[in-house]
Amino acid sequence: MALDDTKKTRDFKVVGTRPDRPDGIDKVTGRARFGADMVLPGMLTGRILRSPHAHARIKRIDTSKAEALSGVKAVVTRADFGEVPADVADVMDNCMAGDKALYDGHAVAAVAASSPAVARKALKLIEVEYEVLPHVTDVDEAIKPDAPVLHEGRQQETVPGGMSANVIARSEFGHGDIEVGLKQADRVVERSYRTAATHQGYIEPHACLATMGPDGKADLWVCTQGHYMVRNTCAAILGMEQGQLRVTASEIGGGFGGKTVVFLEPVALMLARKSGRPVKMVMSRSEVLRATGPTSSTSIDVKIGMTKEGRITAGFAELRYQGGAYPGSPVDMGAMSGFAPYDLENVKTVGWDVVTNRPKAAAYRAPGAPMAAFAIESAIDEAARGFGLDPLEVRLMNGADEGTKASYGPTYPAIGLKATLEAAKSHPHWSAPLGENQGRGVACGFWFNFGGDTCVSLNITPDGTVTVSEGNPDIGGSRASMTMMAAEELGIPYDQVRTIIADTGSLGQNEVTDGSRVTFAVGLATIKAARAAKTEMCRRAAMVWGIDEEAVEWEDGAARPAGPNAGKFPPMTLKEIAAIASNTGGPIAGHHEVNAEGAGVSFATHMVDVELDPDTGSTKILRYTVFQDAGKAVHPSYVEGQFQGGAVQGIGWALNEEYIYGKDGILQNAGFLDYRIPVASDLPMIDTVILEIPNPGHPYGVRGVGETSIVPPLAAIANAVSAAAGVRMTQLPMSPPRVLAALQAQADG
Amino acid sequence: MVEVVLWGSLADQAEGARKVEIKAATLRELLDGLGEKFPGLRPELKRGVSVSIDGRIYNDSWFQPIAPDSEVVLLKRLKGG
């Protein structure tokens, strides 16, 4: 459904306002039920035994002593699952190791017991005989020909012969001729960059509660970004029919991409199947960090050619992302997105997907893009500053626009990159003075956004209020957005609509809440469902008035005769039509099911001021402003929150967060004391500027906003720190020791 | 005939061609035609791709129409978080 061409200058009444969030009261009063809040009579505690080795062959597991312990009701190892379909084989192996443990924290067995204490004791009674193998956790080490190999036979046909089996795939994108472009340049910047693995850092750990009856019918309550994905994956792993497993999504305490896969859920179901009792599993923070998806750590080489006027003549990047223990790092997304903000004649990126002895990387908000942007935007900044050019002007000069052939292939329709740059240039932040040891950085970012399978059911109650059922967990305000779009379309007040997240038995298939898809795709389905209900209500009014249904239109929450020839009848409101629904044919509802395609790409520009402490190397964020195209901001406060959240997570990624592995391959900082995410006292207020360049693929012009905001911060902060330090920072995080070392190296000449 | 742009490493599996012509009026015909004409592309097609048609991204809509003069670009399967 394209942007409404019937009302190009639509005068929104609800969309664009800032009503109270529907989940606010529940969350501040503690009434909201998160993953760990569900309880059932007779419930057991499930716990996982995890590998203490980074890489080890599992020679033997003896669970007999654990099984004999009083209070233990079930013990599960990989042998309980048997063969699983190929498309879930890696997921299965990540949930419960097979022949080998592939990383520190890899699950090897699980128990269900009558209490947490008994479960802990039972884990200690499980005997695992390991043959410890050499390991590798660094991406550059893993690609060496003599590196320890995790898997044989997984390399794709895209990888040239002779490379380590840890190199799984190669991809290449771009157009033009890099060598020709470099020859046209007055300056070539060539640098290597590294970023650390970081965790999504959601506050709520993974948790679920599983039950399964003797007839094989099962229920699962879980905190997830996609309960339909959980259903389908678990059903495949456990050999169940999807219709026999009903999954209900709990309230969710953050996901950011990390809850788009399963970890505990198949194990909890297997424990429930074996024990015949409900089984609840809740991860500790240490388990979350050791065994759920962080993002990739990366190693990236960049070459940028630029004329003295600031025109980029060539852009090249070679990106190596380690995706943890299984294939599938987001290097393709990095390779496709890094140069996407620019209109370049000669551009090429090469991506390498590499496995290492780390937990399997999971999606993290615009997966793969922030690291690529860090490297490429740093090199562009260095080239511009080398000529004494304004880095914003250089980006405007080279910025992509409608008609630009993107670095990843397509030609852009109307896009908002230059609008964000112009807004940044005219913002007071850009011209504010800086003090000693302070620096300012800017960077641009891009994300694709997408749609996918979506179902919405909209029901008119007898009293004329409205319920909307959608199938995507609300991780960023979607209940408010759907409520607003339904109210807008029906012409009724916001508080007359309530949106709920339905379980998997109540709607058809819904894609995971990811890809910044929900406001776009579920919003589109909500609008269509509301329009279906309006059509039906117009038909009911026509019946009452005794006129053709085509002679009735819907306006301001009521059916009305479409014109003077239709007859003179007073408007019939939604409430009036609902009250007589039984008399006019029965209940009234609208629904819509669609694979929503046509999501619009999104761009952002970030600007940040920092101050360095030359004695400690610590960095303070002084001021931060986000400029981003939202297409149409349905609820501006949530849009601003997405902008701010992306910036804050980017600040953590840039300055502090880092998976640190010892030489033994063991994670050294598996807790929030040693893995430091930003807290409120670290941060200034993040200012936001919303641009609205409508997406022609959505009736209200909506674009996704949840991911783009984490793409520019790494580079923007690196550019600011580099400006303040007078030395180019090429490795993240820019932690105090690293900044201090750079300052010292510069002082030493 | 529809002209399809392939990404660099995919071109290696299509006898080096960065642009190929396929007789197709829908997305499904396009993907089937690509696999038939260039068997080397089949593994990547099986792993899943996204397709840009005139600047809009499509994943699985088999019967999405493609006009003969459309700009069609094969993309790696998009993943989000």
Q: What is the pLDDT of residues A599-655, one digit of tens each?
A: 889 999 999 999 999 999 999 999 999 999 999 999 999 999 999 999 999 999 999
pLDDT the model gives residue A1: 54
- Name the residue of chain A whose CA is nearest to B51's CA: A410
DSSP state of A566: G
Using the predicted structure, report yes or no on whether residue A720 has a pLDDT greater than 70: yes
Query: Between A and B, how many residue pairs show a Cβ–Cβ distance under 8 A?
Result: 102
pLDDT of residue A412 exceeding 80: yes
Contact call for A450 and B76, based on CB within 8 A: no
Q: Can you tell me the ipTM of this complex?
A: 0.95
Q: Contacts of residue B19 in chain A, CB cutoff 8 Å? A: none
**A71 Ramachandran zone, left/alpha/beta (phi>0; psi -120 to 50):** left
Question: What is the full DSSP assignment across A710-734?
Answer: GSSHHHHHHHHHHHHHTS---BS--
In this prediction, residues A724-744 reach a mean pLDDT of 96
Task: Give the pLDDT band of residue A8 (cuts 50, 70, 90).
Answer: low
Q: Buried (b) or exposed (e) across A406-436, using 16+ Cβ within 10 A?
A: bbbbbebeebbbbbbbbbbbebebeeeebee
Domain boundaries, position B69: 2-76
- The 10 Å Cβ neighbour count of residue A519 is 34
What confidence tens digit (pLDDT) does each residue in A553-612 have? 999 999 999 988 889 999 999 999 999 999 999 999 999 999 998 788 999 999 999 999
Tokens found for residue A631: 């297409």
**Using CB atoms and an 8 Å cut-off, which of residues 19-38 of chain B contact chain A?**
none
Which of B43, B57, B75 is opposite residue A599, by nearest beta carbon?
B57
**Band of pLDDT at residue A715, cut at 50, 70 and 90:** very high
Contacts of A272 (CB under 8 A, 6+ apart): A112, A210, A211, A212, A218, A278, A279
State the pLDDT at residue A4. 64
Whole-number pLDDT of residue A6: 46
- CB contact under 8 Å between A515 and B79, yes or no, is yes
Residues of chain A above pLDDT 90, percent? 95
Does B26 fall in a domain? yes
C-beta neighbour count of A324 within 10 angstroms = 27
A positions 153-192 inside 8 Å of B (CB): 156-158, 170-174
Run of H or E residues at A216: none
Q: Do A448 and B80 touch (CB under 8 A)?
A: yes
Q: Which residue has the tokens 């993953």?
A: A35
| Nearest-Cα residue of chain A relative to residue B63 | A595
In a domain, B62, yes or no: yes
Structure confidence at residue A598 (pLDDT): 77
CA-based nearest distance B65→chain A, Å: 13
Rounded distance, CA A319 to CA A338, Å?
10
Number of independent structural domains in chain B: 1
- CB contacts, 8 Å: A340 with chain B: none
Q: Is A367 within 8 Å of B80 when comparing Cβ atoms?
A: yes
CB-nearest to A256 from B5, B54, B81 is: B81
Binding-face residues of A in 16-35 toward B, CB within 8 A: none
**For B9, which of A170, A363, A364 is closest by C-beta distance?**
A170
CB proximity under 8 Å: A 189-218 to B:
200
Q: Do the chains contact at A450 and B80, CB–CB below 8 Å?
A: yes
- Whether A386 and A189 have beta carbons less than 8 Å apart is answered as yes
Amino acid at B79: K
Q: Which pTM value belongs to this model? A: 0.96
Q: How close A258 gets to chain B, by Cα (Å)?
A: 7
Domains of chain A (ranges, CATH numbers): 24-32+451-596 (3.30.365.10), 37-133+205-252+259-291 (3.90.1170.50), 297-411+426-440+602-747 (3.30.365.10)
Q: How high is the pLDDT of residue B59? A: 86
Residue A595 touches chain B, beta carbons under 8 Å: yes
Cα A507 from Cα A503, distance rounded (Å)? 7
- For residues A340 and A318, what is the distance between their CA atoms, to the nearest angstrom? 15
Q: Is position B70 within any domain?
A: yes
Tokens of A223: 């905190």
Both structure tokens of A400: 């992509």
Question: Which of A401, A415, A423, A420 lies closest to A344, judged by CA?
Answer: A401
- Provide the pLDDT for residue A2: 62
Band the pLDDT of A699: cuts 50, 70, 90: very high
Encode pLDDT of B1-55 as tens digits: 999 999 888 888 898 899 999 999 999 999 999 999 999 999 999 999 999 999 8
H runs (alpha helix) in A259-360:
265-275, 285-291, 331-337
Give domain status of residue B50, yes or no.
Answer: yes
Q: How confident is the model at residue A82 (pLDDT cuts 50, 70, 90)?
A: very high
Q: Do A450 and B78 touch (CB under 8 A)?
A: yes
Which residues in chain A touch residue B65, judged by CB atoms under 8 angstroms apart?
none
On chain A, the residues whose CB falls within 8 A of the CB of B51 are none
pLDDT score of A696: 87
| For residues B62-72, average pLDDT | 95
Amino acid at A727: V
Question: Which of the residue ranges A228-237, A695-704, A707-716 would you say has the lowest mean pLDDT?
Answer: A695-704
In this prediction, residue A96 has a pLDDT band, given cuts at 50, 70 and 90, of: very high
- Averaged pLDDT of chain A: 96
Interface of A with B in 651-670 (CB under 8 A): none
Scan residues 43-72 of B and list those with Cβ closer than 8 Å to A: 43-44, 50, 52, 54-61, 64, 71
HEC string of B48-81? CEEEEECCEEECCCCCCECCCCCCEEEEECCCCC
Whether A336 sits inside 8 A of B76 (CB atoms) is: yes
Instruction: With beta carbons under 8 A apart, name residues in chain B contacting A172.
Output: 7-9
Contacts of A333 in chain B (CB under 8 A): 76, 78-79
Chain B residues whose CB is inside 8 A of the A362 CB are 81
Distance from CA of B67 to the nearest CA of A (A): 16
Asked if the C-beta of A310 comes within 8 angstroms of chain B's C-beta atoms, the answer is no
Chain segment A341-398, per-residue pLDDT in tens: 999 999 999 999 999 999 999 999 999 999 999 999 999 999 999 999 999 999 999 9
CATH code where residue B12 lies: 3.10.20.30
Asked if residue A41 has a cis previous peptide bond (ω within 30° of 0), the answer is no
Instruction: Give CA–CA dist A104/A444, Å, rounded.
Output: 36
Within a domain: residue B81?
no
Give the model's pLDDT for residue A484: 98
- Could you give the count of Cα atoms lying within 13 Å of B52 in the half-sphere of its Cβ? 23
Strands of A200-346, DSSP E: 207-212, 218-222, 245-249, 279-282, 297-306, 312-322
Cα separation of B74 and B64, whole Å? Answer: 14
Q: Token digits for A95?
A: 């949930």
pLDDT confidence bin for A187, thresholds 50/70/90: very high
